[in-house]
Chain A
Amino acid sequence: MQQEVVLAMLAKEPSHGYELRARLRDALGPLGDAMNAGHIYVTLTRLEKAGLVAVEASADRSDRKVYALTPDGQQRVAEWIAEVSWPKPDLAEFHLKLLAAASAGLADPLTIVDTQRRELLRRLRDAQRAAMAEPERSNAALLLEGIVLRLQADLRWLEACEQNWTQRRSGS
């Protein structure tokens, strides 16, 4: 995960590492389970070295560190919020795989499409079940809906691949 995500979570108020973890768990739901628990602390240490966060004295005098944004950190968060970014699905690779398989006779493109569809349907099933298990309008449900919609789009494209390659094979 990007350092900026951890940084931005500190924008609301200075926090302990474990508070950030709890907020992430709420935001990600079951997807957060796969995350390494130590990851957030490693990231915080890196951000501290980079001068983007500073450790404050703890109010409750425990030895837990409270992290706060430095002015540089605030600047970085503002830039990150304004950035336009979007994860890129690698469709070109799959497309070129089908073309290579067909032209060199390495495999039937339709078999590759079928294999891909199985995997995506399994993921869709998992994402859907996870989404239905979430309380309505929870943060995690919204994220899971995003996954479901992306998988649907990918499956539709596979359908287009299937039709196209079926027609090519029958020579029409």
Chain B
Amino acid sequence: MSKAADTPVLRARGLRKEYGKGEGLVRAVDGVDLDIRAGETVAIMGPSGCGKSTLLHLLGGLDRPSGGEVLLNGRRIDDISEKSLARMRRTDVSYVFQSFHLMEELTAVENVELSALLAGRSPRAARRRAEQLLDQLGLAERMRFLPSALSGGQRQRVAVARALSNEPLIVLADEPTGNLDSAATLDVLQLFNELHEYGQTLVIVTHDARIAATADRMFAMRDGALVDQTRLTGGTTGKLGALVGLED
């Protein structure tokens, strides 16, 4: 196998984030090791306050660690300059947030093309890519709508289209269904399955079991540390019958 295939898209080693000092010291992230391979969907689950959002911020370069390393495609990003970090956030990593973070005064297609423009695409290429993505995500009819005219599920679809518009190495999602009702959650679930089939590398931080269950691997996080991991693929369909009284 080539070196490129061996290198995880994202790697963390001994990652730490601390707040405060002395008695008030909080270890939000406490020695995390993590390898995410290309095309993988990984879910990180844990109760609120366990440090999972902080971990996601460290992985995507939104925040600097107190210690340890983060490598994106084999290159350190925890100690690079603010300028390089900003460039990396525009081109290599995308976020999907709980509260969508769309620009309310821009239409759906303008929201989506913006991140491609920031990543350095020509206006024409950015618009073409944005229209294509919205079409793929079933929003062809609503491209010129403002976010306020869209449902929660549709807004999250626009946010996902925006996350994909700069063709990032990895998409990081922070409680992507936190603000959605169950029908819209199903919509996002379906969407993440499609992204997975398309080969997009995806890390999802969530306490929603339905979203976590779309992943290939799941990590449980407690008190800043990853305490359990499991592969969810290679399932148990036979046993589903037991849940409805069809089998013993």
Interface residues of A (CB under 8 A from B): 1, 28, 30-32, 34-35, 87, 110, 114, 117-130, 132, 143, 146-148, 150-152, 155-156, 159, 162-163, 166
Contacts and interface: CB of A to CB of B under 8 A. Distances in A.
B241 to A, nearest CB: 4
Interface of B is mostly: mixed
Interface stretch (B150-158, B166-174, B210-218): B210-218
Given A125-B213, A126-B240, A132-B189, 9 more contacts: A110-B222, A114-B220, A122-B236, A123-B236, A123-B243, A124-B209, A148-B210, A156-B209, A162-B47
Given A121-B232, A123-B240, A130-B237, A34 B210 contact: no
Interface of B: 47, 189-190, 193, 207, 209-210, 212-214, 218, 220, 222-223, 227-228, 230, 232-233, 235-241, 243-247
Choose among B232, B235, B243 the residue with the greatest number of A CB atoms under 10 Å from its CB.
B243
Give chain A's interface secondary structure class: helix
Given A35-B246, A159-B47, A162-B47, A128 B240 contact: no
Nearest to A144: B240
Contacts of A146: 244
A170 B190 CA distance: 39
Contacts of A119: 236
A114 B230 CA distance: 10
A31 B210 CA distance: 20
Contacts of B223: 166
* Nearest 10 CB-CB pairings of A with B: A124-B213, A118-B230, A114-B228, A155-B209, A126-B235, A125-B213, A34-B241, A125-B232, A126-B237, A147-B243
